[in-house]
Amino acid sequence: MQKAYKETGMNDIFETIKQVAFEIDTAIKTSDLGYSDSENSSGEDQLKLDVQSDIIIEKAFANVASVKALVSEEKEGVLELSETGKYTVCYDPLDGSSLVNVNLSVGSIFGIYEGELEGKNLVASAYVVYGPRVELVIATRDSKPMLSRVIAGKFKEIGEIFMNEKGKLNASGGTQQNWSDYHKAFIDSLFAEGYRLRYSGGMVPDLHQIMLKGGGLFSYPGTTDKPNGKLRQLFEVIPFALMYEQAGGEAINNKGMRLLELLPAHPHDTSPCFFGSKYEITALRKAYGIKA
């Protein structure tokens, strides 16, 4: 019997995520979209909005008793908050932020860990999509992803998300000229089957769309310019792996390893990642010569 996420003792964390969602949505609509004079730990230029979103989240979690520490895409290491806290929250405060100034959807991603920061210790994940509507999805190890939407200024639960065995959408990330031949042949084979390209360059809306539209494949492979992929394990890849597995899909790396079993070498470690319905992930294993 699946347990609703509210019964998990992490409700103070989920309520805090709802609070910061409103604050960051307001910041997106009112702040200066210029660049700050700093870079994040992945060497990416930081928008003032990145820094502002990070501060909003850090301030909000500073008073949440169950939170032991924070890891942010916008900061180097682990920020210790409380010795009595139970969970470490790893987050990307505004993923895809460079899309804001072309008015595309962006998101915040949260991975909630208990113990060492590795895939098997992820106990829940959440993400917020800032689009035409503000939506929140929360999943735990015991619950399917639950979709909520801001209606009349409040988050209202819409329903659980589940994915079909096979989908129709193909979100193929990474610079195509740097794909391996077998990855290119695999992606082309899906298009030859009639899949439709749906890729905005924002991980949150791209993965959200595939889950809501019943399935398909999101891929960000290792490439010649980024052999270990681009997406960060702790606060991008592992949190979405829980979402996809709990929605009935699969989430693996280029060696067939479940992304929920990843062991990050450091807080900003990356991994090639594939998220999808069972049919597409099975086809990927075949294309990559991986035994199931």
Residues binding ligand P6P (CB under 6 A): 95-96, 173-174, 201-203, 230
Residues 91, 111 contacting (CB under 8 angstroms): yes
CB 142 → ligand P6P: shortest distance, Å? 28
The beta-strand segments (E) located in 52-142 are 67-72, 78-80, 87-95, 106-113, 122-130, 134-140
Q: Which residue in 203, 201, 260, 268 sits closest to 232, CA to CA?
A: 268
Determine the Cα–Cα distance for residues 264 and 120; give it in Å rounded to an integer.
Answer: 11
Strands 35-39 and 45-47, bridge-based pairing: antiparallel
Q: Which is nearer to ligand P6P, 10 or 106 (CB)?
A: 106
Instruction: Find the residue with minimal CB distance to ligand P6P.
Output: 203
Q: Which is nearer to ligand P6P, 8 or 52 (CB)?
A: 52
CB 244 → ligand P6P: shortest distance, Å? 14
Q: Which is nearer to ligand P6P, 230 or 268 (CB)?
A: 230
User: Within 10 Å of residue 218's Cβ, how many Cβ atoms?
Assistant: 27
Distant-in-sequence, close-in-space partners of 140: CB < 8 Å, separation ≥ 6: 3, 5, 8, 10, 123, 124, 242, 246
Determine the Cα–Cα distance for residues 37 and 33; give it in Å rounded to an integer.
Answer: 13
CB 153 → ligand P6P: shortest distance, Å? 28
CB 226 → ligand P6P: shortest distance, Å? 8
CB 197 → ligand P6P: shortest distance, Å? 12
CB 204 → ligand P6P: shortest distance, Å? 7
Q: Which is nearer to ligand P6P, 174 or 215 (CB)?
A: 174
Q: Which is nearer to ligand P6P, 173 or 264 (CB)?
A: 173
Q: Which is nearer to ligand P6P, 82 or 180 (CB)?
A: 180
Residues 114, 121 contacting (CB under 8 angstroms): yes
Q: Which is nearer to ligand P6P, 68 or 230 (CB)?
A: 230
Q: Please list the alpha-helical segments (H only) found in 149-202.
A: 181-192
Q: Which is nearer to ligand P6P, 124 or 203 (CB)?
A: 203
CB 149 → ligand P6P: shortest distance, Å? 21
Matching residue, tokens 């230029």: 45
Distant-in-sequence, close-in-space partners of 102: CB < 8 Å, separation ≥ 6: none
CB 202 → ligand P6P: shortest distance, Å? 5
Q: Which residue in 204, 87, 212, 198 sits closest to 159, CA to CA?
A: 212
Residues 33, 101 contacting (CB under 8 angstroms): yes
